[in-house]
Chain A
Amino acid sequence: MFEARLNNATTLKKILDAIKDLLNEGTFDCSDSGIQLQAMDNSHVSLVSLTLRSDGFDKFRCDRNLSMGMNLGSMAKILKCANNDDTVTIKAQDNADTVTFMFESQNQEKVSDYEMKLMNLDQEHLGIPETDYSCVVRMPAMEFARICRDLAQFSESVVICCTKEGVKFSASGDVGSANVKLAQTFNVDKEEEAIVIEMQEPVVLTFACRYLNAFTKATPLSNQVQLSMSADVPLVVEYRIAELGHIRYYLAPKIED
């Protein structure tokens, strides 16, 4: 028996919004420690890794490890049927071929349940080692989304240059060139507005705007985003989900011609 409850459907809606543009389907691996999803996007250029800890749920029960392959488009249709303040419960029997989403209104007067067929997805899991990165940048998630959106107008690629003074995002194309420099902040009143750079070695890396923009669909989940970069290895874009877990996106740097 698997049962996971969140007192507010908004978080689950935001999580789905953060992955459904990159992935058509995904396997939710459930265990007593929580729910994990790892999947490459359709073109195998980026990797999505979602971790939701069991202690972040308002109720969590998982008697046996369970892998539930879901069509994310179908899941999105179902979650549209939930009000933001509904309690959402995800339920499945052991070895079941369906999953049930139950939505309960705050006053308990409306209870709906939607059963969805599970899919058998033959997805390979990749081992992602814990790595020390040359540069780790924490910045407001809204600011990162804005920069990715703005620079995508000028080029398919953005160059991220990180030194201990700051981080620079650049794009150049037929129209001209664009540069956005952010300095590390000191003594900001609100932690969520801070720009913090931890640098061992400066890095200059080029990434595809299209994927960075897809990652910023997670912006509503978190005030801050963390970018971890080293030469010649995938960038990690991490959004923490308060008290529940995180979503990480991995994207390989583009190779200069």
Chain B
Amino acid sequence: TSGQKNIGSFFAPK
């Protein structure tokens, strides 16, 4: 989807 960031980029890996 254009203009849609990967959700993983908002949270740090545990």
Q: Report the Cα distance A234→B9, complex, angstroms.
A: 10
Q: Which partner residue on chain B sits nearest A125 by CB separation?
A: B14
Q: For the complex, what is the distance from the CA of A121 to the CA of B1, rounded to whole Å?
A: 25
A47-B9 Cα distance, complex, nearest whole Å: 11
Stretch at the interface among A64-72, A99-107, A246-254: A246-254
Residues of chain B in range 1-14 having any CB-CB distance to chain A below 8 Å? 1-14
Contact check, A254 vs B12: say whether CB atoms are below 8 A apart: no
Task: Report how far A196 CA is from B8 CA in the complex, Å.
Answer: 30
The number of residues on chain A lying at the interface, defined by a beta carbon within 8 Å of a beta carbon of chain B, is: 23
Indicate if the CB atoms of A126 and B3 lie closer than 8 Å: no
Is B13 touching A208 in the complex (CB atoms < 8 A)? Answer: no
Total residue contacts A-B, CB cutoff 8 A: 54
In Å, the complex CA distance between A45 and B5 comes to 7
Within 8 A of B (CB), among A144-201: 156
What are the residues of chain A within 8 A of B5 when measuring CB–CB? 252, 255
Is there contact, CB below 8 Å, between B14 and A127? yes
Given the complex of chains A and B, what is the CA–CA distance between A40 and B9 in angstroms? 12
Please give, as numbers and ranges, the residues of chain A lying within 8 Å of B10 by CB-CB distance: 233-234, 250, 252
Given contacts A125-B14, A126-B14, A127-B13, contact A208 B4 (CB under 8 A): yes
Q: Which 10 A-B pairs have the closest CB atoms?
A: A126-B11, A125-B14, A255-B3, A252-B5, A254-B3, A127-B14, A47-B7, A44-B6, A124-B13, A127-B12
